[in-house]
A and B are shown apart, each in its own frame.
Chain A
Amino acid sequence: MRRYIVRRLIHMVITLFAMMTIMFFMFRLLPGDPTMTMISSVMYPKAQEAMRAQFGLDKPLIEQYLIYLKNYSTLNFGYSFHSSREVSELLSGRIVNTLVLILPSMIVAYGLGALLGALLGWYRGGRFETSVVFVATALQAAPVFWLGMLAILLFSINLGWFPPGHLVTPGMFPDQDLRMYVSADFLHHLALPFLVHTAYQICFPLLLMRSSMLATIGEDFVEFARIKGLRERKILFGHAARNSLLPVATTIPMILSWALAGSVVIETVFSWPGLGKLMIEGVQRSDFPVVQAAFFLIAVLTIIGTFTADLLYGLLDPRIVYD
Chain B
Amino acid sequence: MSNRMRHQTAGIKPSRSGWASPAALVGAVAVGLLLYFCVLPLALLVKHSFQGGDPFASYRLVASRAANWSALKGTLTVASGAAAIAFLLGVPLGWLVAATDLPGARSWRSLLALPYVVPAYIGAVGWTYLLSDRAGWLNRLLTEGLGAPALPVSIYSLEGIIFIEGVFFSPFVLMAVAEAVERIDPALEEAARVSGAGPVRVWLDVTWPMVRRAALGGALLAFLGTCASYGVPAVLGPSARPPVSVLTTRIKGYIDLHTTGGFRQATALSAVLLLAALAFPLAERTSGSDSRSAGSRPAGRKPVALGRWRTAALAGVGAVFGLTTFLPILALLISSLMENVGRGFSWENLSLVHYWVVLRRPEAGLALRNSFLLAASAATLAVGVGGTLALMQARGGLRWGWVLTPLAWLPYAAPGTVLAIGAILAYTGAWGINLYGTLWMLLAAYAAKYLALAYRMAAAGIEQVHPSMEEAARISGASRLRSILEVLVPMVRGHLVAAWFLVFMPSFGELTMSILLFGPDTPTLGTMLFELQSYEDPSAASVLAVLIVAVILLSNALVRRLSGGRYGI
**Chains A and B form a bound pair:** no
A contact residues vs B (CB 8 Å cutoff):
none
